[in-house]
Amino acid sequence: MRRSAQGFTLVELAVVFTIVALLVASLLYTLSAQTEQRAQDDTRRRLEQARELVLSFAVVKGRLPCPARSANTTAPVTTAGDEVQNASQQCNGDSVDDYYGGSNAGVTLGLLPARTIGFTQVDSSGFAVDAWGNRIRYAVAKTVLANSCTVTTPSAPYFVSSTNLKSNGVACQPGDLIICKSATGISGTSCGGASNQVNAQNLVVAIIFSTGKNGAISPSGAGVDEQANVKSTSLSPQINPVFVFHTRTDNTFANGEFDDQFTWITAGELYGRLIAAGVLP
């Protein structure tokens, strides 16, 4: 009876508070992990939706869309979220997000043209965004592999040109885009060897990707592999068709944190859709 009247000791209270703190921390961690997983799943769904919309655009227009630009001043000047393509069916760009190097130079990389393809999950400016509000990026092959076309090897652009696609059928293979497993050993045009390739070269016609939660648009704080995807000036040359994709890693990984999410379209998939729709051959 005397012990009951005295209440809890300081040691007993400390033990109780410690247990409660651990339970709360565990609950918060679980909720945070669930929120993060939902964002990753939502972004994956958005990328797959964008992929289908790009293919649907190709069926209707007979070509792939050009990227959008965050600040386009090269004619024709477009509305935010629109593709930027001139009268010659060339993708134009001059903004900080295109890594294009001027008119019709280098790989065609920019932002997903949400308005052009009908993608509805956009920011206040009209650009497609992932679950974290970061703008979704889009790259499309510009050239074809030499001597791969049955009729003639056309000059760039190719996959964004309905005229070229219609004239050359389904034999032409993409000549520039490639996805690597690591930025280690890559050059301006290759993965540095077949063992570092995610898939075969001369296969991918378009890439759609999210820079993940960390939104590494500015590469200064990103890992080496993420820098390859936003075309850091630390890579030479800056304008190149080489991208990196692998499973998520944290900042203890040799090449730093990586949380980019990718999807892509192969030449076979594009040709298959166009043939099924009667657009080709």
d(CA 188, CA 101): 14
Domain annotation covers residue 78? yes
Q: Give the best-scoring range by mean pLDDT among 20-34, 36-50, 168-182, 229-243.
A: 36-50
Beta-bridge mates of residue 174: 144
Highest mean predicted confidence (pLDDT) among 11-20, 95-104, 149-158: 11-20
231 pLDDT more than 90: no
Report, as an integer, the average pLDDT of 43-61. 95
pLDDT in tens, 76-123: 556 778 888 877 777 876 444 444 334 444 446 788 999 999 999 999
Mean of the pLDDT values across residues 63-80? 74
Residue 80: closest CA among 115, 29, 50: 115
User: Has residue 152 got a pLDDT over 50?
Assistant: yes
Residue 69 lies in a domain: yes
Q: Is residue 26 part of a domain?
A: yes
Least confident stretch, 116-120, 134-138, 171-175:
171-175
**281 part of a folded domain:** no
pLDDT digits (tens, 9 = 90+) for 237-281: 445 788 999 998 888 888 888 999 999 999 999 999 999 988 887
The pLDDT, as a whole number, for residue 235 is 46
Name the residue among 200, 226, 66 with its Cα closest to residue 190: 200
**In Å, how far from its chain's centre is CA 24?**
37
**Domain for residue 221, yes or no?**
yes
Is residue 157 within 8 Å of residue 129, measured between CB atoms? no
75: in domain: yes
pLDDT for 244: 92
Q: How far apart are the first and last CA of the chain?
A: 94
Position 1 pLDDT exceeds 50: no
Query: Under a CB-based contact definition with an 8 Å cutoff, are residues 126 and 80 in contact?
Result: yes
pLDDT > 70 fraction of the chain, expressed in percent and rounded? 79
Instruction: Give domain status of residue 60, yes or no.
Output: yes
Q: For the chain, what is the HEC assignment?
A: CHHHHHCCCHHHHHHHHHHHHHHHHHHHHHHHHHHHHHHHHHHHHHHHHHHHHHHHHHHHHCCCCCCECCCCCCCCCCCCCCCCECCCCCECCCCCCCCCCCCCCCCEEEECCHHHHCCCCECCCCCEECCCCCECEEEECCCECCCCCCCCCCCCCCCCCHHHHHHHCCCCCECCCEEECCCCCCCCCCCCCHHHECCCCCCEEEEEEECCCCCCCCHHHCCHHHHHHCCCCCCCCCCCCEEECCCCECCCCCCCCECCEEEEEEHHHHHHHHHHCCCCC
Mean pLDDT on 209-220: 73
Task: Note the pLDDT of residue 77.
Answer: 59
Task: Count structural domains, the chain.
Answer: 1
Domain enclosing residue 97, as ranges? 2-276
User: What local confidence, expressed as pLDDT, does residue 171 receive?
Assistant: 82
In a domain, 140, yes or no: yes
Angle at 10 between CA 6 and CA 16, to 5 degrees: 105
Q: Is the pLDDT of residue 221 over 60?
A: no
Which of 36 and 269 is assigned the larger pLDDT? 269
Percent of the chain with pLDDT over 90: 28
Cis-peptide, bond into residue 237, ω within 30° of zero? yes
Give me the pLDDT at residue 8, please: 67
The residue among 110 and 8 whose pLDDT is bigger is 110
